[in-house]
Amino acid sequence: MEKIHSLTGMMDLISENGLESSLANKIFDTEKELIKIFESYSLKEIRTPSLENEQLFNRSVGNSSDIVNKELYTFKDKNEKSISLRPEGTAGVVRAIIEKKLDNDNHRFWYMGSMWRYERPQKGRYRQFYQAGVELLGFPEGLAELEMISMIISINSRLEIKNPKIKINHLGDKNVKDAYCDALKDYLEPISSKLDEKDFDRLNKNPMRVLDSKNPETQKILKNAPKISDFISDDAKSLLNTIKKTYGEDLIEIDSNLVRGLDYYTGFIFEAVSEDLGAQDSYLGGGRYDQLFEDLGGKKLPAIGMAIGIERIADITQKSQEKKTLISFIILSDKIEQKAYKIAHDLRSRNNNLIIEVQLLDSSLKSKLRRANKDNASYAIILGKDEIESDKVLVKSLLDDNSDQRELNVSELEDFVSTL
């Protein structure tokens, strides 16, 4: 019978014992480290559905974006309702807060889960991808920006990101964005024939998106284009300079061409980049979206958030996996299972860095030791009928081929595993 394969751009993540370079293991470890960071900043978890009404993304992400026009997974359900797989996390969080009537207070949330975009799969980018996010809701511009950048620096440090750079910019309010778009359009329209098809389309739908072009020729044209720094307020400029002074000029770069890819951003925006990722060098980004709650039918609520590409970070993190000792627990008689399982259960509580894997298949000692070696176990604990009757166990080191085994009573075994 023909095998069924996964869809293009989708991933199966399967943890592998002892394979530190495994992408799955790196992703799982990155998620654990991110959660520790989020909790240290007093963030609370929020979970929203993977499926949402298509209109949620049309009204938030924006009809002019590639995400909505080209990359959204959308289909009709059995009631002919148009629904979409979420391409990002912020819109669902805002919808949930409005729906639960929580948009009259401030909140600090984190989330983590699968997102989907129908784009060309490439290194570090898949059609199904794993994203973490942070949303600070109800906090006006100022201190929340400093907190967000602090969190990024903590991520860089804890996950040992080499040579990171944090780019920041300010888009101003709606009036500033409109005025700047008009000026940019006036500059680009007379030379629009020099733009490629994609950038020409961006010019007509949202001129600011041309700034995000990856085309080298477009970037040459933009060198003499109007800068948004000439349109934003003194307060906005002061915020950018404050962040740069607070966290250091070596780390923070004010980039007047930074726009981000979602229509809901207003005010302060940012992204973190690493040269190790190549041309697509961003591994997290975000910004302020003070208008989004009202745009989705809620009360006016200032907010800032960021999205973190978990696979992107897993590709560049230098952090080694947390080392845990694996012990293979081998039971040689079905008549002693109850007492043996009690010993295994008690041992697990003695050392948090210990993994005890009870071998569940009925096979010979030789086969079980072979399995223990395959799993990269450091030790095998062997219990037979004689050992249980004498209240002892055999402990065999698997760290090298010439390791001896020793006999310990149960209390000695508990002391032994406490030291691993």
Supply the CATH number for residue 354's domain. 3.40.50.800
Each residue of 71-80: pLDDT tens digit?
899 999 999 9
- The reply to whether 301 and 340 lie within a common domain is no
Q: Would 3 be classed as within a structural domain?
A: no
If one counts the domains in the chain, the total is: 2
3-class secondary-structure state, position 191? helix
- In-domain check, residue 284: yes
Same domain for 279 and 355? no
Structure tokens at 121: 């799969």
Average pLDDT (350-358) is 83
Q: Give yes or no: residues 60 and 119 share one domain.
A: yes
Q: Computed over its alpha carbons, how large is the radius of gyration of the chain?
A: 27
Residues 257 and 281 in one domain: yes
Q: Does 336 share its domain with 411?
A: yes
Q: Which of 276, 295, 316 is the last residue of a domain?
A: 316
Q: Comparing C-alpha atoms, which of 123, 54, 38 is closest to residue 87?
A: 54
311, with CB counted inside 10 A (0-12, 13-18, 19+), is buried
Domain boundary residue among 316, 345, 364?
Answer: 316
- Domain range for residue 124? 23-172+232-316
Whether residue 300 is found in the same domain as residue 397: no
Indicate whether 124 pLDDT > 70.
Answer: no
Q: Which residue has the higher pLDDT, 273 or 322?
A: 273
Nearest to 70 by CA among 114, 119, 7, 116: 119
Q: What is the pLDDT of residue 16?
A: 73
> For residues 392 and 409, is the Cβ–Cβ distance under 8 A?
yes
State the CB neighbour count (10 A cutoff) for residue 371: 17
Name the pTM for this structure: 0.84
Q: What is the mean pLDDT of the chain?
A: 88
CATH of the domain at 275: 3.30.930.10
pLDDT at 54: 93
3-state secondary structure of 247: helix
Give Dmax (Cα) for the chain.
92
Taking CB atoms within 8 Å and a gap of at least 24, the contacts of 331-336 are: 331/358, 331/359, 331/383, 332/365, 332/382, 332/383, 332/384, 332/385, 333/383, 333/384, 333/385, 333/388, 334/362, 335/385, 336/383, 336/384, 336/385, 336/388
- Per-residue pLDDT at 103: 92
CA 237 to chain centre: 30
Query: pLDDT band at 49, cuts 50/70/90?
Result: very high
Do the Cβ atoms of 74 and 82 come closer than 8 Å?
Answer: yes
- Provide mean pLDDT across the span 214-243: 90
Residue 42 pLDDT level (bands cut at 50, 70, 90): very high
Q: What is the pLDDT of residue 152?
A: 97
Report pLDDT for 270.
Answer: 97
Instruction: Please tell me whether residues 167 and 312 are part of one structural domain.
Output: yes
Residues 142 and 80 in one domain: yes
Average pLDDT over residues 109-122: 89
In a domain, 407, yes or no: yes
Considering the domain architecture, whether residues 44 and 119 belong to the same structural domain is answered as: yes
